[in-house]
């Protein structure tokens, strides 16, 4: 894989904290959030693990609805009038705005942008394309509310990174004006699972069985796993909005990011790839605690400012 990486990593630091976080994630997330734990149990575990997430001061949070779906707005003290539509991760099965308040509030504070965290429909109750359709409907609702496309970015982590990509591709197919930018943290881009990375240090967050469960419950049985609506790495990426991808190197989904960036760059799209050695899936969730996560969020803020957001 030859995708160029625009990346300047901070020196490896906080090694004791990294070790503690790795151990906790391996025990409490990777060890529990997977079969045979029922989906309801997985959802509860994630809510409990994120219940005490710290959020930065000065950011206000309010509940609302967007295109018929619940959402949470995070607004900084002096916003730019622009918005980031944020799509949470959780393998398309778990998670919600309440589990991602730390990362959303930090993005709002550091980028000076309003962040709308969408509570899109989840599998297995609502398999593909329900979540993607919710993203498109929410984007339409923002346009209808008076936001211009150049004022809107779409972003997300893991499953939410996938939805950012396939949602943007669907927006283009429908002839809607495309968003100003995409931000993807460790996006899932290939449901075939044929090029899964095996990090020497191991992935402390994701168990392979959880990936298999997500694919079985989210993907329709009659749709090939390499369908571009499911797996954007196989899509026409030539008209992708300017995109920032951040990925840790100690994660099973590393190659999903590398291959997506490589194919998008080959198609002529503007894609910035950042690789973070020694870190795991969606390490940005530790913003405010892990300095590497603070650094990554700061780079997101700079990227959005470059796009006029």
Active site residues: 158, 251, 281
- The structure tokens listed for 74 are 């995070």
Say how far residue 17 (Cα) sits from the centre of its chain. 24
* Residue 247 β-bridge partners: 275
Rounded to the nearest 10 degrees, the angle between the axes of helix 159-173 and helix 130-144 is: 60
Residue 93 has which token pair? 């099965």
Burial 269-287 (b: 16+ CB within 10 A, else e): bebbbbbbebbbbbbbbbb
Residue-by-residue DSSP string for 118-132:
E----TTTS-TTHHH
Give the span between the Cα atoms of 168 and 241, in whole angstroms. Answer: 8
């Amino acid at each position: 894989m030859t995708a160029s990486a625009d990346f300047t990593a901070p020196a490896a630091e906080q090694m004791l904290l990294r070790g503690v976080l790795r151990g906790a994630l391996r025990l409490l997330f990777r060890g529990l959030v997977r079969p045979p734990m029922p989906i309801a149990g997985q959802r509860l575990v994630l809510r409990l693990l994120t219940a005490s997430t710290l959020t930065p001061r000065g950011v206000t949070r309010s509940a609302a609805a967007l295109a018929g779906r619940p959402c949470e707005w995070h607004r900084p003290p002096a916003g730019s009038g622009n918005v980031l539509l944020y799509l949470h991760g959780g393998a398309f099965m778990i998670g919600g705005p309440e589990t991602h308040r730390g990362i959303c509030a930090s993005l709002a504070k550091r980028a000076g942008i309003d962040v709308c965290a969408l509570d899109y429909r989840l599998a297995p109750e609502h398999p593909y394309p329900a979540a993607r359709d919710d993203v498109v409907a929410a984007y339409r609702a923002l346009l209808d509310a008076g936001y211009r496309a150049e004022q809107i970015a779409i972003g997300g982590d893991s499953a939410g990174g996938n939805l950012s990509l396939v949602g943007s591709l669907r927006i283009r197919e429908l002839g809607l004006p495309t968003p100003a930018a995409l931000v993807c943290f460790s996006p899932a881009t290939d449901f075939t699972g044929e090029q899964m990375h095996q990090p020497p240090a191991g992935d402390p967050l994701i168990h392979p069985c959880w990936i298999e469960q997500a694919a079985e419950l989210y993907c329709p049985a009659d749709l090939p796993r390499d369908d571009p609506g499911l797996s954007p790495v196989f899509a026409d990426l030539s008209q992708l909005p300017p995109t920032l991808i951040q990925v840790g190197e100690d994660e099973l989904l590393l190659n999903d990011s590398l291959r997506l960036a490589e194919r998008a760059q080959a198609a002529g799209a503007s894609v910035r790839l950042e690789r973070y050695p020694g870190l795991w899936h969606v390490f940005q969730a530790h913003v405010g605690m892990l300095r590497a996560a603070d650094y990554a969020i700061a780079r997101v803020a700079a990227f959005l400012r470059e796009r006029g957001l």
